[in-house]
Amino acid sequence: MFANAQLSDPLLPRPRLSIVVPCYNEEACLETLHRRLTEQARTAVGEDYEIVLVDDGSKDRTWPMMRALGETDPHVRALRLSRNHGHQLALSAGLDLCRGELILIIDADLQDPPELLGAMIARMEAEEADVVYGVRTQRLGETVAKRATAKLFYRLLAHLSDGVEIPLDTGDFRLMSRRALDVLQAMPERSRFIRGMVAWIGFKQVAIEYQRDERFAGETNYPFVKMIRLAVDALTGFSVAPLRLASYAGFAFSLLSLALIAYSLIGWLGGHTVPGWTSLMIVVLVLGSVQLFVLGLLGEYLGRLYHQAKGRPLYIVSEMAVHPGAMAPLPQ
Ligand code: UDP
Ligand code: MG
């Protein structure tokens, strides 16, 4: 089965609420996640909800457990991707599949409290907003380095992003309206930084503050390298400021080289030309590394263009598990 935007069958009834959860190696969290989501969904909307679980090519028992949930609980639809496609694409697959009028995006590790759901819906209704996003006031159980880099990154991104106000300290934990999701789904970019894309959509978006808990169980699936990759996706996806930086650097170095040319000419005229190994080395090294850095920057944008141009599907679905009763089409 291939990825497509038609995963969500238009003939199926639309529940009031969809909860979409990307999961990678989350066997230790799944049961509690399912219980807490079910409780909160029931309190908020009664029986009119669905939970879309996406297994992003986990290597542990996540999929068998997820499939069992999908087959026994008519509210759960479980989807398995063909391999690990990464958090943002797994989330995109879940968003393609979900059918709700309201959509809650939440992590599987319960760092974002499902108990906030009621407040988020109330807030959305009271403010007639299309998006209610969670802002982390505190992050528990995360290393100082992670908190510091995340803080710095969100501020840098806010500063550089062209024309879009990407909220600070905000993950993907958010409640969205169907019309906001429809716009998001129409955006075909490969390097997806979903929290930024949602901000780009516009409409009324309001913040709700919460304290980010520790992971319920298991370990983070965002090691340093993945974090850097997400950060580069975000920066290149929302800003061409780095390219501009290259032109500024080029301009600054041109001025500097004019001064150096004048200096060396004067030296030559005065007959002092032999010393200068150190300055020569510095100039060669600085120029060489700045050029490589700028080439690398260009490469980042070019590589993304290349991937986008290939137009491959964003993700591949390998299996789906749903309760037999859950697939009944709308009564005519
Ligand atoms: N995740 C995923 N695919 C990946 C990595 C992570 O679907 O390749 C999911 C993961 O199961 C969790 C969410 O993305 O639901 C956030 O990941 P994690 O909690 O590890 O990140 P952190 O909160 O440490 O930044
Ligand atoms: Mg987490």
- Name 202's Cβ contacts closer than 8 Å, sequence gap at least 6: none
The upper half-sphere exposure of residue 50, i.e. CA atoms within 13 Å in the direction of its Cβ, equals: 30
Rounded to an integer, what distance in angstroms lies between the CA atom of residue 193 and that of residue 66?
A: 26
Q: Which ligand is nearest to the CA of 194?
A: 1
What's the CA-to-centroid distance between 192 and ligand 2, angstroms? 18
Ligand 1: distance of its center to the CA of 256 in Å?
Answer: 46
Give residue 257's Cα distance to chain centre: 42
pLDDT digit string (tens) for the chain, length 332 residues: 444 444 666 667 789 999 999 999 999 999 999 999 999 999 999 999 999 999 999 999 999 999 999 999 999 999 999 999 999 999 999 999 999 999 999 999 988 999 999 999 999 999 999 999 999 887 777 788 888 888 888 888 888 887 788 888 888 999 999 999 999 999 988 888 998 899 999 999 999 988 888 888 778 877 788 888 888 888 888 887 888 887 888 888 888 888 888 888 888 888 877 777 787 888 888 888 888 888 888 888 888 888 888 888 989 999 988 887 665 544 44
Ligand 1 nearest atom to the CA of residue 111, by list position: 23
Q: What is the dihedral angle through the alpha carbons of 168, 170, 174, 178, rounded to the nearest 10 degrees?
A: 50
Q: Which pLDDT belongs to residue 330?
A: 44
**Protein residue with least CA distance to atom 8, ligand 1:** 86
β-bridge mates for residue 53, sequence order: 21, 78
* Residues near ion ligand 2 (Cβ under 5 Å): 107, 109, 111
Q: Output the ligand 1 site: residues, CB below 6 A.
A: 22-24, 26, 56, 84, 86-87, 90, 107-109, 111, 220-222
Distance 231 CA to ligand 1 centre (A): 15
In this prediction, residue 4 carries a pLDDT of 47
End-to-end CA distance of the chain: 28
Give the ligand whose atoms come closest to the C-alpha of residue 56: 1
